[in-house]
Amino acid sequence: MVLLSLVATHSNVDLETVARLSVGAPQVPASVLAGDRAVSGAVVLATCNRFEIYAEAPSEDDVEAARSAIVSTISEYSGIPEQSVSASFETHTGQDVAEHLFAVGAGLDSAVIGEREIAGQVRRALIEAQGSGAASGGLVRLFQAASKTAKDVGAQTALGSRGRSIVSVALELAGDLSADADWSRKTVVLFGTGAYAGATMAALKDRGCTDISVFSSSGRAEAFVASRGGTAVTAADLPGAMRRADVVIGCSGSDARIDAADIERVRQGSNRPLVVIDLALSHDFDPAVGTLPDVELITLESVRAAAPEEQADALAQAGDLVRDAARSFEEQQTTRAMNAAIVALRQHTQAVLDSEMERVRTQHGCTAAAEEVEFALRRMVRQLLHVPTVRARELAAEGRSDDYTAALEALYGIDVAPAAEKAPAPDQHLRAAAGGTAVVPVPHPHTHPDGAVCPVHHERPAQSA
């Protein structure tokens, strides 16, 4: 299996394009899996700054077909021509897949370096893919490793102690633009009830803000405030809440964008300054809102421009942790693939041995001589497998796993991938392949034509290869 990722972020495309590509994001994994055999698993990571698809293909030969299937699906949902979709994404394969995701999860690729929310978004992306059945085993391991790396970066570097996020920087900007920086005296209207709105609510409460009205066009405001605090407002109540507000925050990404004329109408007769914070990727507010008198508009672009620079030493340390974790993950992936090859070789030799021993028993019966022949053959097989097992691990470390599997196919006709998929190896074979203590499988007790059971065929401990 081969991992790949298609990445569109604030670093390589504008946020408007990211928003357009993200249309239909939750449906992309299931659609790709249903329509194309080149993709065996898919996870989507869609945030306010990025749209990324992580996928697993059956082999290197399927990577381009998998990418094409994903691009075609995104084009279908977004309405953007396939050529434009393809040009918007950077494609990662090999160790670059893990290194990029680990950096994302640790907040190193965010508009605000070291932000906290992204680690939770990475976890939720995996949970959603698992819930829909789209997450393959390789992708589960990848995302779990990303979450572990994010924790390590937070615990072992100064980035974890800063506690910065897109929300926190936006609120700092809002405080700087207000005559009164005391959030306990501010009235806030919050649009949205998703995860980002939840993070915003928590940040507001941390700053002492208690007068928070929540509006949801989908009608989920009551459930949201029941667990997080604040006051739910209806569409009828919204104009009055907007008129009294000092700060309005958009986190919904709703299709119903609020125009400058709407703000001007509900604020008519009010001369109090208003700060509008638009954190939705697809914008909850028309950019013209920022041209209104006594209104300041803060967008994701504003946050990115105002995000503080992190210390070079903390970033370097975090980068080293990410690269080491990605290298370790790739080595584990290679080892898993090589173990399948080792198991396939062992199963092949075991089948040959069993066939030969069956002929010996048929000819000579269950005698002491037959037993000695069997033990001698098993010792010989273990010795013969020792060098191929060692070489398998050496080639895996050199990144030459394909050379080994190609040699098995050329010399023995062993097709490693189908063997791993159709007939999972018994635990004892896997332990032996990993270098641990194994039990050499011995045929079931042989029964003579007269019904007597031969007692000498039993299990013997195998030496580690």
Q: 87 near 14, Cβ under 8 Å? A: no
Task: Using the CB atoms, write b or e for 344-383: b if 16+ within 10 Å.
Answer: bbbbebbeebeeebeebbeeeebeeebbebbeeebeebbe
DSSP code at position 48:
S
Query: From the candidates 48, 209, 251, 454, which is the catalytic residue?
Result: 48
**Helix (H/G/I), strand (E/B), else coil: 189:** strand
**Which phi and psi (to 5°) does residue 291 adopt?**
-90, -5
What's the chain's Rg over C-alpha atoms?
30
Q: Side chain identity at 191, as an amino acid letter?
A: F
Token pair in block for residue 43? 């996870």
Residue 336: exposure state from Cβ atoms within 10 A (0-12, 13-18, ≥19): middle
Question: How many Å apart are CA 307 and CA 359, to the nearest integer?
Answer: 76
DSSP notation for 406-431 = HHHHHHH---HHHHHHHSPPPHHHHH
Question: How many Å apart are CA 457 and CA 462, to the nearest integer?
Answer: 15
DSSP notation for 273-313 = -EEEEE--TT-SB-GGGGGSTTEEEEEHHHHHHHPPPPPHH
Q: Side chain identity at 200, as an amino acid letter?
A: T
Q: Is 48 a catalytic residue?
A: yes
Question: Which positions are annotated as active-site residues?
Answer: 48
